[in-house]
Structure 1
């Protein structure tokens, strides 16, 4: 899989090279902070066929996420469909740490924190009910624990996917911009601009 550092991507963009960058984080994460010329295509809604139709030319499709993991997953899926892709090393965190420009919107609780809060609450509830009501409730804590182990092994979090679909994690989608207009003008913002 091809990768590019945030600084290298920024240098390409400053030379007016056509950059089609998709951010595969959730809409809420994207709204909170994102690279100014990125557009949001959440990983759970990634449609390689649609992206192939929207993306023209021989230039690669650049992919970014928070820290790199979801970006790698997206790249694997897109490469399997025949698209030429490049993953941004370190994701949006590395971009921001490199001192490169970002756009900030409304602060929200990250999906990762939401998963930890939900998992912790369910384990605590299962143990409390298991001790006070019926030992069968301990199964809830065991189920959540097994889910966390599965998530750690497979790098796929079912609870995260479920929470990402909750109403508080949704952002209205604007119509997609014209690919040529967005690519040629550094002032045109694509995707969700928080």
Structure 2
């Protein structure tokens, strides 16, 4: 388990040039909101491309809430040779401490949030239509539930793939 740093302690180390902050979230999450000065290093890419932390500096890892870093402490510790920490409370804790955050409200919502919104909306529509119009509409809710179960078991989410093709999620040059 990597030791945790409070947002204030992490900010002090960063200001003194004694640490580098790495955000392990995916690019779509980072684009919407991140700690000012953080380096994007998605968790999925760390094993293939080890971190380069300057000599004499510590690595501090963050995610949105601290849950992802806490769950992956062993993997994170393995990619650095020097001291490493996790940011207590993640980006949410950093922002709650009143520290600088970069926000881009024009960036699309994170893909998994889009999936949650779409799935929830479809289930609600299916149940509402099933109650008000015809019981056959309950099939929409069943179909979405089956899709979410399939995604959980296999790791393939068709709805996420479909939403990734939506115009608002396309990367512009």
TM-score normalised according to structure 2 size = 0.69
Distance (whole Å) between structure 1 residues aligned to residue 170 and residue 22 of structure 2: 18
1:61 and 1:15, CA in 2 relative to 1: closer, same or farther beyond 3 A? closer
Look up the match of 2:146. 143
1:67-82 matched pairs, under 5 angstroms? 67-80=65-78
Distance (whole Å) between structure 2 residues aligned to residue 41 and residue 129 of structure 1: 45
The answer to whether the 8 Å contact 2:33/2:101 transfers is: yes
RMSD: 3.9
Distance (whole Å) between structure 2 residues aligned to residue 37 and residue 29 of structure 1: 15
Deviation at 1:143, TM superposition (A): 1.9
**2:4 counterpart SS class:** strand
Deviation at 1:105, TM superposition (A): 2.5
The answer to whether the 8 Å contact 1:35/1:102 transfers is: yes
Distance (whole Å) between structure 2 residues aligned to residue 59 and residue 15 of structure 1: 10
Give the paired residue count: 164
Deviation at 1:120, TM superposition (A): 0.8
Greater CA drift, 79-88 or 30-39: 79-88
The answer to whether the 8 Å contact 1:122/1:144 transfers is: no
Distance (whole Å) between structure 1 residues aligned to residue 109 and residue 145 of structure 2: 25
Is residue 2:17 matched to residue 1:16? Answer: yes
1:35 and 1:74, CA in 2 relative to 1: closer, same or farther beyond 3 A? same
Higher relative contact order (CA 8 A, sep 6+): 1
Counterpart pick for 2:59 among 29, 53, 61: 61
The answer to whether the 8 Å contact 1:20/1:55 transfers is: yes
**1:122 counterpart SS class:** helix
Distance (whole Å) between structure 2 residues aligned to residue 145 and residue 162 of structure 1: 11
| Runs of 4+ residues deviating >6 angstroms | none
Structure 1 regions of 5+ residues with no counterpart?
152-156, 173-194
The answer to whether the 8 Å contact 2:23/2:39 transfers is: yes
Look up the match of 1:30. 30
Structure 2 regions of 5+ residues with no counterpart?
none
TM-score normalised according to structure 1 size = 0.63
Distance (whole Å) between structure 1 residues aligned to residue 13 and residue 64 of structure 2: 21
The answer to whether the 8 Å contact 2:32/2:108 transfers is: no
